[in-house]
Structure 1
């Protein structure tokens, strides 16, 4: 799937890939093979540890910050942004997905790497945090999720947040969007 990111991401534009420490050895090489430049790791400080089957409880998660080569890199965040993001994790009692990310986490990445009105792609839609962050920041979200129950979760979460009815997109055709818009996101 790194190859798909490299295929659709505009040159100079960024991707944020969440993954555990175990991916440190594999991800940088895979990103390079996909035509992506691995810039650095961002560490999410969850502010509260998570029980694991390891010797130490997990209090952070890695994010592989990368961009597509071929043009000048674009960054829209402040010049004093750090690679340590202190964002409280979602309360376990209200989580709707096993690896749910807080909307604030997605919103920060979106604002650092896109402008209002631009497209944002999330290949692992999960609980829909990226979709909600896009709604909050004025971006156009395109999500993919393979697990049908989580697709339902995303739709319900979107409808609850916006008060609008979700539109179904099927067979490569977009309901109420032009073909040009659809092709732009693919």
Structure 2
């Protein structure tokens, strides 16, 4: 925006160093899972409720959860199918809702079940990918 200024929704008392406790154990198995507060603060400081937040590296879904907590719409991308599953399950657990595939209305549970029927080893492969990715 030529001549414009960025949006700042936070107070002016914040410092540039944040002291955010890390959860004792990773709840998702993702090797670099961040505390939700690490994403919540910049989201609140730089957007307003109802606005969109873009997350190009979704991982375990921390930004998705922060957006849910702050009333933002999250557009997230993740290439690793195992982490997509982790993020979807995490979102479902947090919201109490069922994720639905926009293209045809199937729930995540239905998609997961169909994948397992098509390839009985699929759930084991996905679990192995999650473990492998977490160990990297």
The runs of at least 4 aligned residues of structure 1 exceeding 2 Å deviation read 90-96, 167-170
Query: Which of the numbers 43, 67, 73 marks the counterpart of 1:110?
Result: 43
Structure 1 partner of 2:110: none
TM-score (norm 2): 0.70
Gaps of 5+ in 2: 106-136
TM-score normalised per structure 1 = 0.52
The answer as to 2:18 corresponding to 1:74 is no
RMSD over equivalenced CA pairs, Å: 2.0
For these two proteins, the number of residue pairs brought into alignment is 105
Distance 1:153 1:121, change over 3 A: same
Matches of 2:96 and 2:36, distance apart in 1: 18
- More helix per residue: 1 or 2? 2
2:34 maps to which residue?
A: 101
Asked whether the equivalents of residues 36 and 63 of structure 2 are also in contact (C-alpha less than 8 Å), the reply is yes
- The answer to whether the 8 Å contact 2:10/2:45 transfers is yes
- Equivalent residue, structure 2, for 1:152: 85
Bigger RCO (CA 8 Å, 6+ sep): 2
